Structure 1
Amino acid sequence: MSILDEISRLLGAAPEHVSALILSGAGGALVRALSLPEESWTRRALHGVVGAVSAIFLGGVAGHLIDAMTGSGIYAYLAAGFLMGEGGIAAVHALRRRLLPPGGKDNA
């Protein structure tokens, strides 16, 4: 079994909203990586990976909130995943500033 077959199997077995978060988060991360003013492609790729991971973890929370407010179902998760994929790094920094004490060395 190839790696693509295994990925396809895993995505097929995942709940619908998790698959939506993965796909839309990857799209948002791709947009972010391609539009960054970074010259280094390795830094762009790293930002893309961080955005995709943020989409999976933070996008689930945001998608649930959007779905609860609007009742839009899977579209809420698609929107949240894309937004967190594209702006996941900024969202993580904002959460850290809000939750960690100001001036701490871990709150850069």
Structure 2
Amino acid sequence: MAELPENLVALILSGAGGAYVRAVFAPEQNWKRRLVEGSAGAVSAIFLGGVLGHLINAATGAELYAYLAGGFIMGEGGILAVQAIRRKFLPSEDADNG
């Protein structure tokens, strides 16, 4: 990890933090779904967090802190987006039991 650019390391760490916070406040009982949501949060943090971090940096000049904020927001928001898409397109487990 030492060879990665500083901004990418910040996105990975802050994205993991955002995904962790989301998992604490909205825990998923199914471990497969939890893994998928965590992965989506990490991917969102790396790809979309970079864009958001760049925008925050351009507006504030906060440099590394802008990327930390962008990664955290996308780490948490990416999981929320996956949950919304899953509810819309995948059948509920409760529907299978009823």
What is the TM-score when the length of structure 1 is the normalising length?
Answer: 0.70
Give the corresponding residue for 2:34: 44
Separation (CA, whole Å) in 1 of partners of 2:80 and 2:48: 12
Give the corresponding residue for 2:22: 32
Q: Is 1:53 the equivalent of 2:33?
A: no
Separation (CA, whole Å) in 2 of partners of 1:26 and 1:15: 17
Structure with bigger RCO (C-alpha 8 Å, 6+ apart): 2
Measured against aligned partners, the alpha-carbon deviations of 1:54-87 in whole angstroms (never above 9, x if no partner) come to 0000000000000000000000000010000011
Q: How many residues align?
A: 87
Aligned-CA RMSD value: 2.4
Q: Percent identity?
A: 64
| Unmatched segments (≥5 aa) in structure 2 | 90-98
Q: Return closer, same or farther for 1:17/1:29 CA change in 2, 3 Å cut-off.
A: same
Separation (CA, whole Å) in 2 of partners of 1:59 and 1:75: 12
Which amino acid counterpart does residue 44 of structure 2 have in structure 1?
S
| Unmatched segments (≥5 aa) in structure 1 | 1-10, 94-106
Q: Return closer, same or farther for 1:91/1:58 CA change in 2, 3 Å cut-off.
A: farther
Q: CA deviation at 1:39?
A: 1.9
Q: Residues 40 and 82 of structure 2 are in contact (CA less than 8 Å); yes or no, is this contact kept in structure 1? A: no
Q: Residues 21 and 56 of structure 1 are in contact (CA less than 8 Å); yes or no, is this contact kept in structure 2? A: yes
Which amino acid counterpart does residue 40 of structure 1 have in structure 2?
N
Q: Return closer, same or farther for 1:44/1:91 CA change in 2, 3 Å cut-off.
A: closer
